[in-house]
Chains A and B, each alone.
Chain A
Amino acid sequence: MIRLEPRPAPSATMRVATPVVAIVLTILTGLLIFALLGKDPVRGFAVFFVNPLKTTYGISEWLLKATPLALCAAGLAVGFRASVWNIGAEGQFMLGAIGATLVALYAGSMPVVTLVLMILAGIAAGALWAAIPAFLRTHFNASEILVSLMLVYVAELLVSWLVFGPLRDPMGFNFPQTVMFEPAALLPILVPGTRLNLVLGFVVLVLLATYVLVFKTHLGFKMRVAGESPNAARYAGISAKTMVWLGLLIGGACAGLAGMAEVAGPMGQLTDKVGSGYGFAAIIVAFVGRLHPLGIALASLLMALFFIGGEQSQQYLGLPGSISMVFQGLLLFYLLATDVLIGYRLRLGRDAHVTNAVKAKAG
């Protein structure tokens, strides 16, 4: 019989090891799924994890795909640390895209100025969208989980209305999209011949900033206390309201920036396909990355592979692209399941072990 025996202290090794275990289990399950679908697992693995990284262009696309995930996840992680459950990054991402698009279309194209305005508009729009659940949470006690989520659907419809209506490109053959942005409204390319642009710089900045905030400031310390022990935080006079506001606004701002980078980068315009699930995937990235900026950087690279692999498997394996969402969900399941090993040891044997260990822990 396999038993769980409480550890005297949470295992730091396991905290780092379980994401790796979860990744390995997800990949193994993926191979099994390929085999069950009658596809060659080796080929499936190659399509998902090897082929995308074979060329410089492939690697640049991979990095580019990881950027919105890392941006959204970095912001979400700040909130999650304080137990603020912002689930609406997907909507805040879309609002950021809308904000940036409005600037690109109406502010005129000036070198640098347009881009700076777009960045500010994207950040502001994302933060504003996140401010709604923050306000409703702090003033009316409404669950930020459900409110931020409902706002994803509202944001989706808002984008749809804009690109089908007021912002539609009159010359766009009735496609739901705006005109292509002027060059001044596009992020500069970092590596010639690829689509990898300045957004990579944003990611580095945001990850550094969230690291400093969470681990090097008093405010970050308070947020961590609030997240780990709400009661202790209350006694210490840490305002729960401030945490809710900070958590949501930072999450919204980061997601908004990611949305801006999406329309000012690979898309070059706003279309009704702007929300591609980055905001939801970022929740997984944040958890797999252990809410730590370095972990998030690594996890976003992994998750980006899932996204690209999904597209590739559509092309080369004839499988629906939604297989990437299946992998994402599996990864989170495995992570949450294996996380039990942080606080517990697996033991094979009789009950006596457990009772003794519990007594030892209690005593």
Chain B
Amino acid sequence: MDLLTSILFATVVAGTPLLLVALGELICEKSGMLNLGAEGMMSIGAVAAFVAAFTFESTLMGVASGLVAGALLSLVFAFITVHLMANQVATGLAVAIFGVGLAAFLGKPFEAKVLPSIKPTEIPFLSDLPLVGPVLFGQQWIVYATWVIFAVVVWFLAKTRGGLVLKAVGESPDAANAVGIDVVKVRYLAILFGGAMAGLGGAFLSLFHTPMWAEGMVAGKGWIALALVVFATWLPWRVLLGAYLFGGVMISQLFVQSSPIPVKIPAQFLSALPYIATIVVLVLISRNVKMIRLNSPASLGKPFQKERA
């Protein structure tokens, strides 16, 4: 692979977990629920996926376990925020702290173990194309699965009744309730989808990206994914763009460090780039208050009491 191809290839790889988690959070936030626990759900997904794949010697079991683990943790969030109407910010933080801690705890016996790495699934003929071949058609199957999920999310939001219902709940749960929509059910499903996608994003890290588990390997990717949703102003296509943009920033440091021209930048400064880029991007987007207000779900973060309606 030439340099440009390998940069783009690595960008897609690095952007995939961000895309998964951010898509899940997008759906969750569309229902009006702000779940800040992505970092915890990713961590727990990564551990569950690794442990299951290691124990059953099956990637598929690993992927399924990651999905389920992320969804289960999000269920706790759903119960506390939807049923008990607790503050969503605080509950999301609890999910993050608990998930990261539980993942470190459960994963301890599995640190320093490795899984066989998963070979890319090359799509015949197409993967031989120059540049786009390896980047778009020479990836691991989970990358294609992520694009399918993306397409489904776009279709769901734009073309289905379900998407309409979801957006209605996020805009005004009281109005939605009045026309007979089960707000609680919609919010539960949206939160569960968000949790499952975060779990899958974690599974991507521990199974496909680096086939191992290490404490702290999620390293803020869950939080960056949350920022991506703001960056994308709740529009799926911009989530896709943002995820790969950040994937690019994340891998750029590797290429700078291994570049033939000696660069005198400490490794830590390069590692800080994705976090600084996140801040810069947040600033650029958020300053346009009108655009944020126009696109963000109107009831985001506000609890809904059915009795009131």
- The interface-forming segment of B116-124, B135-143, B194-202, B222-230 is B222-230
User: Which listed residue (B91, B268, B279, B308) contacts A150, Cβ 8 A?
Assistant: B279
Q: Which of B84, B98, B276 contacts A332 (CB 8 A)?
A: B98
Task: Render B65-87 as a binary contact track against A, CB cut-off 8 A, 1 for contact.
Answer: 00000000000100110001111
Counting CB contacts under 8 A, is B307 at the interface? yes
Q: Which residues of B contact A284 (CB under 8 A)?
A: 94, 97
Measured CA separation A268–B304 after assembly (Å): 50
Known contacts A6-B307, A323-B105, A336-B86, A146 near B94 by CB under 8 Å: no
Measured between beta carbons, the chain B residues less than 8 angstroms from A281 are 97
Q: Chain B residues with Cβ under 8 A from A140's Cβ?
A: 283, 286-287
Judged by DSSP, the binding face of A is: helix
Is B158 interfacial (CB 8 A cutoff)? no
Q: Interface residues of B, CB < 8 Å — how many?
A: 49
Distance from A7 Cβ to chain B, minimum over Cβ atoms (Å): 13
The reply to whether the CB of B210 lies closer than 8 angstroms to some CB of chain A is: no
Whether A142 lies near B286 (C-beta < 8 A) is: yes
- Complex Cα gap A330–B84 (Å): 16
Q: List 25 A-B residue pairs with CB atoms under 8 Å apart, sorted by A's residue number.
A: A6-B307, A136-B279, A143-B282, A145-B36, A147-B279, A149-B223, A150-B227, A150-B279, A151-B275, A153-B219, A160-B268, A287-B90, A320-B104, A325-B97, A326-B101, A329-B99, A329-B101, A332-B90, A332-B93, A336-B80, A336-B87, A337-B79, A339-B84, A340-B85, A354-B307
Q: A140-B283, A154-B276 are in contact. Are A320 and B105 (CB under 8 A)?
A: yes
CA–CA, A85 and B289, complex, Å: 19
- Chain A residues with CB under 8 Å of B127's CB are none
Chain B proximity of A351: nearest CB distance (Å): 10
Contact A337 B279 (CB under 8 A): no
Binding site for B on A (CB under 8 A): 6, 85, 87, 132, 136, 139-143, 145-147, 149-151, 153-154, 157-158, 160-161, 164-165, 280-281, 283-284, 287, 319-320, 322-326, 328-330, 332-333, 336-337, 339-340, 354, 358
B279 close to A336 (CB less than 8 A): no
| A280 to B220 alpha-carbon distance, docked (Å) | 14
Interface membership of B272, Cβ < 8 A: yes
Asked if B153 is an interface residue, CB under 8 A from chain A, the answer is: no
Query: Beyond A333-B80, A333-B94, is A328–B86 a contact (Cβ under 8 Å)?
Result: no
In the complex, B125 has a CB within 8 A of chain A: no
Whether A340 pairs with B102 at a CB distance below 8 angstroms is: no
Flag if A150 contacts B287 (CB, 8 Å).
no
A11 to chain B, nearest CB (A): 15
Chain B residues contacting A333 (CB-CB under 8 Å) are 76, 80, 91, 94, 98
| CB-defined contacts of B36 to chain A, threshold 8 Å | 145
Measured CA separation A224–B138 after assembly (Å): 56
Nearest B-chain residue to A135, judged by Cβ = B283
Contact B91 A336 (CB under 8 A): yes
Residues of B within 8 A of A283 (CB): 93, 97
Minimal beta-carbon separation of B198 from chain A (angstroms) = 16
Q: Does B100 contact A (CB under 8 A)?
A: yes
Q: Which of B101, B102, B275, B307 has the most CB of A within 10 A?
A: B101
